[in-house]
Structure formats: C-alpha cells, structure tokens
Amino acid sequence: MLKIHNYVLVILIICCNFIVFAQKSNELIINVHGRNTTSLDGEWNIIIDRYNNGYYDYRQQPTADGYALNQKPKSKSDRIEYNFDTSPTIKVPGDWNTQMKELYYYEGTVWYKKSFEYSIKKNKRLFLYFGAVNYHAIVFLNGERIGEHIGGFTPFNFEITSKVKDGENFIVVYVNNERKKEGVPTLKTDWWNYGGITRSVKLIETSKTLIQDYFIQLKKGSENEIEGWVKLNGNSNEQDISIEIPEINSISKFKTDKNGYAKVNMKINVELWSPDNPKLYEVKIKSETDIIIDKIGFRTIEVFGQDILLNGNSIFLRGMSVHEEAPYRTGRAYSEEDAKTILTWAKELGLNFLRLAHYPHNETIVRMADEMGILLWSEIPVYWVIDFKNPVTLRNALNQLTENITRDKNRACIIIWSMANETPISEFRNQFLVKLVNQTRKLDNTRLISAALEVEYPKDKFSPYVNDPFGKHLDVLSFNEYIGWYDGLPDKCKKVNWVINFDKPIVISEFGAGAKQGFYGDKDERWTEDFQEDLYIKTLQMIDKIENLRGVIPWILMDFRSPNRVLPEIQDGFNRKGIITENGKKKKAYYILKDWYKEKTEEFE
C-alpha cells in the first residue's frame, strides 16, 4: 500500500516537474538580510546521480523509490538502494566541482538533503529561500514536491507554512546543471558551469501579511523626491504603512490598496550616494503587521547627450569585468570575504565601476559595493547564441531578468542593467532583446540600459564600426573589441579609426589579452606579460581618441576557469586575460591601467 502511494506520488511529482517552469517571480521576497531567518547553510548530504536513477527506473519510467522520498528500510529485508545519511556531505553554499575531486568537471544531477527541526509559531508564515541553485532545482519537503526553479544565478522562494511539520523535517533538492540548447546560458560559454546550491539557503519566518517587496529610489531626474511602491503579501492587504528615514527625521504615510500595493512618493533632503561618498540611510518600512529595515543610498543616474551624469555630474566609468569566482581558492564566490577581496582590489586599482559578468552575482557583493562605493553593471546570461526563436528561452530570460531586478533594484551602486553579450544580429534576436528592454523599463525606469554589442569591420579592416540596430534601444552604447588579440597584433591599434555613428555615451565593455603571470619575453610573444602590457598601452592610446568615450571595462580583473582554455602550461583550464591571477598576483598590465585611470580621474574631476 505504501509503495503504491509512493508510486503515485512520484508520478505526480514527475508530471508536474516538467510543466511548471519556475516560481512566479512576483512572489520573490526581497531583503532577506533584513528578515527573521534561520540558516540552512552547512553540510548537506549528497547523492551523485549520474544516470538520473533517483527519478527513472530501468524502463525510463518514474521510479517507485525516488530519492526525494528519502526512504529508510523498515526492516532488515527491505531493499532501499540509497541512503542519504551515509552518503558524503558537501557545503552549502558552494559549487560541487571544487568540493570533491571526482566532481571537478561534473555536469549532471546531484541530490542534496538536509534535515532541520522547526516549530512554527501561530500567526506566522514560513518560506524556504534559495540564493541560487545552478541550474535546475526541484525542491521537496518531507517527500512532497514544493516547487521548481530554472536559472542558476537568481534567488527563489516557496511558501511551506502548511507543509512544515512540528519537529523534524527534511528537504531534498534535485540539482541538475546540464547545459541545454534552449537554456540561458546555452550550450557554449567561456566560463565554467559550476553546479550546486551555490548560495545560502534560509527559512524566512514572517507575519501573516508581510512586506514582500518595495522600490525606494529617487524619482528619475530628481535629487529630493522618492518615487516608488510597497507591496504586501497576505490576507490583510489594506493597511496603513509608513516609511521612515530616522537620520533625516523623515516619516511619510501611505495606504495599501486591496491588492496590498501602495504607491510611494516623498520629499527628502539627503546627501547623495556616490563612489566618493557612499552614503546609505537606514530606511524603515512599517505596516500594521510587519516591519523591515534596509540601508539605501540615493543618487541619480542619467544620460545627457554623450555624457553619463551621476548626480548631475559627468563621470568616466573606470571599470573592470569580473566573474563570480573566488580569489585564492577558485570555485564560485559567495562569501563576504570573497566580495571584500574583489572590491578591495577594485579600489586599489582606482576603479569606480565593475561589470559583474556574465550573470547576476550574489547579493553579498552587490550590498558591499553599495557600502564601499563601486558602481555596478549587472547582466543576465543572454550570451552568444541563445535560442532566440524559442519562446521558452525568452520566458526563461525574462524570468532571470525580473528576479535580478527584483532583488537588487534598491541598490544605489547598480547603474546599468545589461541585456546581452555578443549576440549575433537577427530579426528574432532583435525582437527578443527589445522584450528584455521593455520589461526592464517597466520594472525600473531609473537606471540605464546597455548591452555588450559586437564590432563590424569594413573591407579595409581599419575602420571598425558598430552598426547594430539594437543600439538604438540602449542608453549607453557598449561593445567588446579585441584588436591586437583576436584581430591582428597590438600594433594594429595605431592604424585604427573608429566609426561610431551613435550620439550616445560609449563604454567599451571588453578588451584584453591573455598572459601567464611570470612569463616574460618580447612584446610580440603571445602569453607573455609583456604582450598583455603592450596591448593595454596601445589599446588605451587608441580608444582615448573616441570622442564620446565615457567608460572602459577591460576583460578581466582576475584569471578564471574556462573549459575552452586548454593550452598546457599557459592556460590549464583558465582564461588568462586577468590582470591579476586567481592567486592574487598582479601582472604588468595592471600598472598600465592603474596609471591611465589615475589620469582619467584627474581629467573628469
């Protein structure tokens, strides 16, 4: 009887799995840092499921013994062919590839299990929150499927109020990171596809009607008016709410409507946030049933002709790209320490801007950038040859974009939402990207939109131009260029004349060259630090002539893992375009850039 029951349950589980695409992103709870949470981080038991045996039997049918059930033998003759409790453990948060030698290049399924005790108080609700799981997660509580999520870099949560038991509970998560043609990203990228529960897992306990989400930022173009909204979630939607900024003695009151939604509009007099003065204010949002505190900075960001204006002043974005990789230990970065190292490097180099490539990074680094004063470019992994014709791919991209903006829209440091990287021009691609732009403007009309476009070459090859029709939808025109690396040698830079017919600020979103730290030679010898240094010198001279250049983001701050990079003794599985190694050693190009950025700082101040 028990077996039949389980069998039906597993069939149900499987049928649902592949129909439901993801959580509804409008149910995402924001500011988990400011809530009453219980951490589920730490050791989780795992089963490495190379043949998806936890789902399918030998006829490729749903199995009666699905691992989600976490069964135990009832008697000594019972046959249960798995056991989470005697299986190995790995740490959450963290990728699996760098925690077990045998998983270094593993892409597939791993089942995770964690037990926890809980006793939910009356009049409370409970949510299970994941900072990120790469790539596909199906979550079970006490053997019951509670939800599914696709996309490896954004948070999601499921309500478990009526499902959590008093006392012992267990969570099982099916995690699969196989690359898929229709996925976002798709089959091929230039970074390693770390699998696992890569960010923190939390239980969030809330009141029956909680303040789920809010948007509290300066109105576009105004330095003293907040325009935003607050959204409640629960059954007591019509409430009095207030927003307080104690430091400036500001209290404003609003009422939420029958959908739990209130528009917010308030006059304030604040010190504006900037990289030189990353001033954050404590903001208290109170309803009759909930209170949440955040630290928010206020600044304006606009484009005026060929300028980018931060708080009304023209700025030059002294940038650098970075992957979400941990300095010194490799693997997915997630911790405060990882974020601190990266942002301290950025400051030492004289940066005021980082491109978080090529997907949303963890909230810890974003919040720290807010505190330390580093402007950010945030992007989703719409990269290279996404399946632009596929509506499932579009839905996936829109969902990741929405989750990213939902999580980070109150962070002053983020000034640019980027839609895509080096995507080939076509009608389908253009329509796809325009839908992303429309969604972004709908969710947040205060920030700038960009995308890393590609450069084209006429026959003579010395007058590169950007002629992407998608450019007209962007506030900031950005493109990646590799003259001197993929295109000729660095000397070519001297002969190049850029032809960019867009009357917009230009930010070069990538340039760079690979170099093995400690390898020296002639400046025309590939892979030497001298080559990379020479390329930086000549590229910077070349781009300095572009009249509307308002920022540069060389590729890349730190060497990072990429399975495409197989050259023995030079690459060994790493893209070497970093100006700092994965172990923190600086290459010669670092100093060239640092000096140039110093000049730029003086020029723009």
Contact residues toward ligand GCB (CB under 6 A) are 190, 358, 421-422, 480, 510, 555, 575, 577
H or E element that contains 193: none
Bridge-based pairing of strands 560-561 and 291-296 is unpaired
User: Nearest approach, Cβ of 514 to ligand GCB (angstroms)?
Assistant: 7
3-state secondary structure of 404: helix
Answer yes or no: are the C-beta atoms of 96 and 137 closer than 8 Å: no
Q: Which residues contact 488 (CB under 8 A, 6 or more apart)?
A: none
User: Nearest approach, Cβ of 303 to ligand GCB (angstroms)?
Assistant: 23
Answer yes or no: are the C-beta atoms of 335 and 570 closer than 8 Å: no
- Spatial separation of the C-alpha atoms in residues 529 and 301, rounded to whole Å: 37
Tokens of 405: 């903006």
CB closer to ligand GCB, 69 vs 357: 357
CB closer to ligand GCB, 106 vs 192: 192
User: Nearest approach, Cβ of 383 to ligand GCB (angstroms)?
Assistant: 7
Picking from 374, 474, 368, 343, the residue whose alpha carbon sits closest to that of residue 418 is 474
Bridge-based pairing of strands 167-176 and 156-159 is unpaired
User: Nearest approach, Cβ of 42 to ligand GCB (angstroms)?
Assistant: 33
Picking from 502, 464, 500, 504, the residue whose alpha carbon sits closest to that of residue 482 is 464
CB closer to ligand GCB, 13 vs 556: 556
Helices 363-372 + 336-349 axis angle, to 10: 40
- Spatial separation of the C-alpha atoms in residues 111 and 196, rounded to whole Å: 9
Q: Give the end-to-end CA distance of the chain in Å, rounded to a whole number.
A: 77
CB closer to ligand GCB, 141 vs 322: 322
CB closer to ligand GCB, 355 vs 407: 355
Q: Is 52 left (phi over 0), alpha (psi -120 to 50) or beta?
A: left
Cβ atoms within 10 Å, residue 407:
24
- Spatial separation of the C-alpha atoms in residues 318 and 383, rounded to whole Å: 24
> Which residue sits closest to ligand GCB, CB atoms considered?
190
Name the amino acid, one letter, at 241.
Answer: I
- Spatial separation of the C-alpha atoms in residues 356 and 151, rounded to whole Å: 17
Helices 391-408 + 363-372 axis angle, to 10: 40
* Ramachandran angles phi, psi of 140, nearest 5°: -125, 140
Answer yes or no: are the C-beta atoms of 140 and 87 closer than 8 Å: no
C-alpha triplet 126, 201, 380: angle, nearest 5°: 110
